[in-house]
Structure 1
């Protein structure tokens, strides 16, 4: 049986729904809504880290808010919440749920609750937040899936929507049968697009490489952060197409995303990787900056101090 992720094991007491923090059981939609009938939504995943001064910092909150707005625009979903209100809602929910020794992952989902085929569309932002362990996750083995990332003319990969994750679900099921918790998706040309829920980065001869967005890779905020870290650390970084066979001969490999930060890959399709001096150093630097231990201008944090007696 596949091991569950930290978020799958949790049922938080509180959610942000219909403009306020409410009990988990109150967050429901009608079965006829487009959120249910067509799975019509866009979402973002945000990560929050405890800081040395006791505050809690949510990483790249403005960038996530802006990307949520872009996804909504492409699917003709109204999104009028200001950055200030979005920030207040995220911090307000985390304050209700946070624990002193665990970081948090926040899912911000904009659902279509009223309307029909783009007429009379009404949306509602729902926030859920889950505890997440501190530190670097253990490396994992992976493989290349038979399933492909959709094209821009079919289901644009730059829209972060749950419907874009149907192929990821199929790849996840395929990977489970092969003993892999995550899989790599190729594009229609047989080149690397991304992983199930993360970007793919590799190292060849000390050079960090990742596919550009036009290859089917989601426009990753975390990859942008990695690029800024590489610049400050003197590590060459390039976005360019990557062939499937390059994964097999790469020196290092990682999945990069908000949920797992920089997740090192131990092997792909049975081909093992050795040590990861470049990506390991980047992962360490990333977490040190996110945790406020060694700040970096590429990691912008929205930090607030919470009341210790906040209602939970």
Structure 2
């Protein structure tokens, strides 16, 4: 499996070419995982997706974090796009399990993209969807702190393309923002909403600390209905850290005590500068949450808010 790192700040985002994918209910060679040029997934970008992360556990098993929550959000996204969801929760986990069993490596975690593509139909008539799963290896070490900017591109409104629909089309603006950010030597960019307030980063949510309280924009500000944010809120409560969902102004980012992005792929990644302005060097609040999150998903210190489901097809790392 070849790969190329695309974040200079860490090893989170990688371009990889796996040997296998899951499509049409079975494993197929990567070269055979193709869609017809005339299907709505290609012509109109009709898809919804979820990224799920699997972590090696102390007992040698590989377990997915929060799979039911991801499946349920996938189904909600599909409903909002009038895209059928042809798989049950058990079939969803089984597809991930089957692919992970073929690709897992004991020295690296695994991130799987589970996507429902509209493979036939026309303008919502007789739509048929297929679950396609691809999976990529990830380093076990936390991502290094990153540099961030604020994009000139805006998050779409609920009446245009609802951010709560996790569809590839919603990430076109993220692509533009990242291209803009590379010219500014930024690892990632923050998207503002139509009112000029903070929505989220290009593929993750924002955590801001001011006076020992963690703040994050609610979905009504254009942020995804984040599974990871829900987990972080529960972890914060366990640690006695105040957690508030409220609108955030752009200028607040510049005077924040701590900043981070969070999501399934990026976990909790600390931010060391925003718009070339350094963030205060110490991260007592977000650093503690980062450590607690990783301890929970790795099974070192389980938490009731973090559901982990072991993959039966994966050979134990202990054997």
Q: What TM-score bracket applies, with the shorter chain setting the length?
A: over 0.9
Give how far 1:158 is off: 0.2
> Cα gap change, 1:307/1:11 in structure 2, threshold over 3 Å: closer, same or farther?
same
The aligned residue for residue 6 of structure 2 is 4
Counting only pairs closer than 5 Å after superposition, residues 154-173 of structure 1 correspond to structure 2 as 154-173=160-179
Mapping of 1:110-189 within 5 angstroms? 110-189=116-195
Given candidates 31, 50, 58, the residue that maps to 2:37 is 31
Q: What is the aligned counterpart of 1:287 among 291, 294, 298?
A: 294
Would the aligned equivalents of 1:104 and 1:129 in 2 still touch at CA under 8 Å? yes
Contact 1:57 1:301 in 2 (8 A): yes
SS at match of 2:69: helix
**TM-score when normalising by structure 2:** 0.94
2:27 counterpart residue number: 21
Deviation, 1:23, is 1.1
* CA–CA distance in structure 2, aligned partners of residues 52 and 83 of structure 1: 26
Q: SS of the residue aligned with 2:50? A: strand
Where in structure 2 are there 5+ consecutive unaligned residues?
none
Would you say the 8 A contact 2:5–2:15 is kept in 1? no
| 2: CA distance, partners of 1:148 / 1:118 | 28
- Distance in 2 separating the partners of 1:247 and 1:128: 35
Contact 1:212 1:241 in 2 (8 A): yes
Across the aligned residues of Structure 1 and Structure 2, the Cα RMSD in angstroms comes to 1.3
Separation of aligned partners in 2, 1:12 and 1:154: 35
1:98 counterpart = 2:104: yes
Residue 271 of structure 2 aligns to a residue whose secondary structure is strand
Q: Is the 8 A contact 1:135 1:287 kept in 2?
A: no
User: What is the CA deviation profile of residues 107-137 of structure 1, one whole-angstrom value per residue up to 9, with x for unaligned ones?
Assistant: 0010000000000101001000000000211
SS at match of 1:237: strand
Aligned position for 1:275: 282
Do the aligned residues in 2 keep the contact of 1:200 with 1:256 (CA within 8 Å)?
A: yes
* C-alpha contact (below 8 Å) 2:61/2:315 kept by paired residues: no
1:165 counterpart SS class = helix
TM-score, normalised on structure 1? 0.96
* Partner SS state of residue 121, structure 2: strand
Task: Tell me the residue number matched to 1:207.
Answer: 213
* CA distance 1:180–1:195, change in 2 (3 Å): same
Distance 1:234 1:178 in 2: 37
Contact 1:54-1:305 within 8 A present in 2 as well: no
Alignment of structure 1 residues 199-278 onto 2, 5 Å? 199-273=205-279, 274-278=281-285
SS at match of 2:270: strand
SS at match of 1:130: strand
Q: Paired residue for 1:68, among 64, 68, 74?
A: 74
Higher mean C-alpha displacement, 9-18 vs 203-212: 9-18
SS at 1:45 equivalent: strand
